[in-house]
Chain A
Amino acid sequence: MSNTNKPRRTPKETQAVVERSLRRRYWAERRFRAYGFTAVTAGMAFLVYLFFVIFSNGIGAFQQTQIRLSIYFDPQLIDPSGNRNIDELRAADYPAVIRAALKARFPEVEGRAATRDLMRLVSGSAAFALQKQVIADPSVIGTTAERWVLASDAVDLLQKGRMDRKLSEAERPLSDNQIAWADKLSAEGALALKFNKTFVTGGDSREPENAGIWGAVVGSFYMLLLTLLLSFPIGVATAVYLEEFARRNRWTDLIEVNINNLAAVPSIVFGLLGLAVFIGFFGLPRSAPLVGAMVLTLLTLPTIIIASRAALKAVPPSIREAALGMGASKIQTVVHHVLPLAMPGMLTGTIIGMARALGESAPLLMIGMVAFIVDIPKGVTDAATALPVQVFLWSDSPERGFVEKTSGAIIVLLAFLVVMNTTAVILRKRFERRW
């Protein structure tokens, strides 16, 4: 192999050549290693940045600006007939009560347009809140009380520093006057951030300040519960059959290939299946958690089956042999001995599958879970939405205030996912057994 035409190098020359190339090669080594480190760091940096953006945007959603007004529950406005009739109390002109309170606060404001601007500091729902208070306790009528009412989303943005005051008046949702009033209230301590109960306990709304995630959380809960009830038994049964009972033949090969492929089919295709079969063919109701759960079941089954099979495989054959040797039947062997040992692994896989199902939204769009639903769903066939779909819906809303709500909903969603995945990890750590 040696090249005879070249003059032979002395050992010293060879050493020099190698040393020169070594420096280059070591340099390449360091560079290569740096690439690797950079890649890992970049991945982490994306993760950190993603969480930073979501949290810095969303943490404010848990607080809402409120305005303290001393409200005179004017009998003339609320209950002119004086008989405390509940229908009359309900139909009374509560915005006028708020208007009066605001005008008392800012006596210098005059004229229709200015009053209207003043009213815009307060959320449209503040009147309903007063209505509820009065109906709950009619004795307040005729008294004056300090009440915190919900500020409008524009004032909320201003208070949270999310509105650029330097913009010209036309580009801002608040006029110079409104900002001045808000600042005055703020300076007097009558404008403050309070815990946003509506966001945690309310349903969806068109106004950012009234929107809550509870409806979506309940929808997601029903859906996950049903998905779990459907997919866990079916997934475990499939895994047990394939791992413990099935003879290897074409039929079981076909099932295995199918499961592996379904694990990689885009989720939206499952949505198409749900739309065409469950809704189109079987006539199940649109937007219902029932249909969502059925689609998510099909979607998570491969994950659960694959994890359960791995857990069953990890149970050593000696356990089965011992049970069979003692005269147990095959089913008894599996039910009494193999399944309990494989259960932690199966549960881990199931929780991971459920976490995936909780974050899934594309198939739910297909089966109509994107409707605007204010009510909290009361059953599995009520129209409902799910947490990730709520995120999608809010992110589509033009109001600036929804950016914060969207991020807030994402924080809640991520919190659920973290809890589920941590449970899975702990379960695995705690019950993992090496044979």
Chain B
Amino acid sequence: MTPAALLIALTLFSVGAFWIGKSRSLALVGGSRGVRNLHSLPGHYGLMTALWCALPALLVMGLWLAFQDAIILRLITDHLPAGVRSLPANDLSLVMNDVRNLVAGNVPADSVSDAVRAASAEYIEFRGISRMALTVLIMVMAIAAVITIRSRITPQLRARNSVERVIEWLLIGCSTIAVFTTIGIVASVAFEAFRFFSIIHPFDFLFGTSWSPQMAIRADQVGSSGSFGAVPLFAGTALISFIAMFIAVPIGLFSAIYLAEYAHPKFRTWAKPLLEVLAGVPTVVYGFFAALTIGPALRGWGESFGLNVASESALAAGFVMGIMIIPFVSSLADDMISAVPQSLRDGAYALGATRSETIKQVVMRAALPGIVGGVLLAVSRAIGETMIVVMAAGLAANLTANPLEAVTTVTVQIVTLLVGDQEFDSPKTLAAFALGLVLFLVTLALNVLALHIVRKYREQYE
């Protein structure tokens, strides 16, 4: 059975187990009249049977499927012709990729070598055996569980307690997924990044000023030594983020002030959600908008002033990104301004300050730490933003502070390096993970700092 069919079968089985457990418990005490002689509700006995039927089977199935592919690949590698097996690791992994593609039906069978075809036939055979074994195993486990639990059901069995214990453990298990995600991100990205750093020295990566991610395929090749100095990428990211913040912070902040302090409640109730629509628009839409409209428009204006504006200028990408970030700044600033106690404003009014003076000298000062935190969150968002820059910023790694030129960013390079078919061990692809590590660490630091500031400030007035 395919895993999906097996899953459905197991679900149906568990439903059956529920009824078996429930009716067994009722039968023991002579139908629904004797329910009060049971320790738990009949449903608890059913649930207990169903959980014991499903959970161990699911666990085994998950582990089995997770390692099935790796084990089968290992097996068929051993059966490959000696000539193929003695290939260097890189080429061997390419062969294995062919096998996988053929199995998945992505490539026609006549486009690959005989060895690959044989190997993929063997893969399919092994997979069939594995699936068969899994199906039998799961079914045996499920049936055994149902029979065992059914024989154990007595009116004294504390079924509710054991069911609730299992559920609590399930809840704990779910809540650890967040931790495992973080561990997964750090481990996977760091692992590949360290492989990269074993080829390219971290110092060259972090402080080198030339970025052209090509590696020589042959030792005697000319002009493709490959350099992985990431400074132009960091500078480009910083430039675009700066432009974005230059747009987003004033507009967002003033919008927040206006909406929180001046606007009529009616105006506020429809203006605020409308502004937040800007944050809900998918970034790919902004990217298209930047590439289609803003980029050419800026180029046209530049030409009329005699300026040479690149069609993929940092300004276009930064501008559109700024628009996207306005609602982040404005809604966070709005929260912070609203959190300032009214008594502070009343005090300022009593001293004769006008509204704007109150806002500038009292409210903003009180809300400043929170607003700074919000702006930092927005910066981290700008740094990590991908689609806008992929579509509207260039690929050329220019080290420049001129917003009219094309620059490239960390995220653009990650996408460029990883999209398309590439073997997994070249420095080119590994470089993407090194960039990802830097991106993760920088945004993490910004987030921790921002959340810390925001939380500290919030506690002040609570």
Give the interface of A toward B (CB within 8 A). Answer: 25-26, 28-29, 32-33, 35-40, 42-44, 46-47, 50, 53-54, 57, 233-234, 237-238, 240-242, 245-246, 254-255, 258-262, 264-270, 272-273, 275-277, 280-283, 285, 298, 301-302, 305, 329-331, 355, 358-362, 365-366, 368, 370, 379-380, 383, 388-389, 391-392, 395-396, 403, 406-407, 410, 413-414, 417, 421
A298: chain B residues at CB < 8 Å are 177, 181
Select which of A26, A268, A285 is within 8 A of B411 by beta carbon. Answer: A268
Select which of B160, B174, B254 is within 8 A of A35 by beta carbon. Answer: B254
Q: A40-B255, A44-B275, A413-B282 are in contact. Are A383 and B106 (CB under 8 A)?
A: yes
B424: chain A residues at CB < 8 Å are 280
Chain A's closest residue to B440 (CB) is A269
Select which of A40, A238, A403 is within 8 A of B171 by beta carbon. Answer: A238
Beta-carbon contact of A241 and B418 below 8 Å: no
Beta-carbon contact of A240 and B330 below 8 Å: no
Q: A238-B174, A277-B188, A391-B285 are in contact. Are A331 and B69 (CB under 8 A)?
A: no
A264: chain B residues at CB < 8 Å are 377, 380-381, 443, 447
Is B414 among interface residues, defined by CB-CB distance under 8 A? yes
- Complex CA gap A163/B354 in Å reads 57
Task: Give the contacts of B401-436 with A (CB-CB under 8 A).
Answer: 411, 414-415, 418-419, 424, 432-433, 436
Report the interface size class on chain B: 35 or more
Given contacts A39-B251, A50-B323, A258-B182, 19 further A-B contacts (CB under 8 A): A35-B254, A36-B255, A39-B252, A39-B253, A39-B258, A40-B258, A43-B278, A44-B274, A50-B285, A233-B174, A255-B176, A261-B444, A264-B447, A282-B66, A359-B284, A362-B415, A370-B419, A391-B284, A421-B280
Q: A39-B255, A40-B258 are in contact. Are A266 and B385 (CB under 8 A)?
A: yes
Select which of A233, A255, A266, A331 is within 8 A of B443 by beta carbon. Answer: A266
Beta-carbon contact of B174 and A234 below 8 Å: yes
Point out which of B73, B274, B292, B387 has the most chain A C-beta atoms below 10 A from its C-beta.
B387
* Per-position 1/0 for B175-194, Cβ under 8 A of A: 11111011011001101100
Q: What is the minimal beta-carbon distance from A419 to any residue of chain B, in angstroms? A: 12
Select which of B160, B182, B327, B432 is within 8 A of A262 by beta carbon. Answer: B182
Point out which of A32, A245, A268, A360 has the most chain B C-beta atoms below 10 A from its C-beta.
A268
Q: A46-B323, A355-B280, A410-B288 are in contact. Are A276 and B188 (CB under 8 A)?
A: yes
Is B391 among interface residues, defined by CB-CB distance under 8 A? yes
Is B172 among interface residues, defined by CB-CB distance under 8 A? yes
- Complex CA gap A392/B288 in Å reads 8
- Complex CA gap A259/B254 in Å reads 31
Q: What are 16 contact pairs spanning A and B, CB under 8 A?
A: A38-B254, A39-B254, A40-B259, A44-B274, A50-B286, A54-B285, A241-B172, A273-B181, A276-B191, A282-B66, A361-B282, A361-B284, A362-B387, A392-B284, A403-B292, A410-B285
Q: A37-B258, A305-B178, A392-B391 are in contact. Are A267 and B284 (CB under 8 A)?
A: no
Is B82 among interface residues, defined by CB-CB distance under 8 A? no
- Complex CA gap A276/B432 in Å reads 11
Is B199 among interface residues, defined by CB-CB distance under 8 A? no
Beta-carbon contact of B174 and A258 below 8 Å: no
Beta-carbon contact of B293 and A53 below 8 Å: yes
Q: A36-B262, A265-B443 are in contact. Are A29 and B176 (CB under 8 A)?
A: no
Is B370 among interface residues, defined by CB-CB distance under 8 A? no
Q: A238-B174, A283-B69 are in contact. Are A395 and B391 (CB under 8 A)?
A: yes
Is B257 among interface residues, defined by CB-CB distance under 8 A? yes
Beta-carbon contact of A269 and B439 below 8 Å: yes
B414: chain A residues at CB < 8 Å are 268, 272, 366
Beta-carbon contact of A276 and B192 below 8 Å: yes
Is B359 among interface residues, defined by CB-CB distance under 8 A? yes
Q: A54-B285, A391-B285 are in contact. Are A255 and B179 (CB under 8 A)?
A: yes
Task: Give the contacts of B48-103 with A (CB-CB under 8 A).
Answer: 66, 69-70, 73, 100
Q: What is the minimal beta-carbon distance from B422 to any residue of chain A, in angstroms? A: 11
Q: What is the minimal beta-carbon distance from B335 to any residue of chain A, in angstroms? A: 14
A240: chain B residues at CB < 8 Å are 171
Is B219 among interface residues, defined by CB-CB distance under 8 A? no
Beta-carbon contact of B255 and A43 below 8 Å: yes
Point out which of A25, A240, A280, A362 has the most chain B C-beta atoms below 10 A from its C-beta.
A362
- Complex CA gap A54/B293 in Å reads 10
Chain A's closest residue to B432 (CB) is A272
Q: What is the minimal beta-carbon distance from A180 to any residue of chain B, in angstroms? A: 30
Beta-carbon contact of B444 and A362 below 8 Å: no
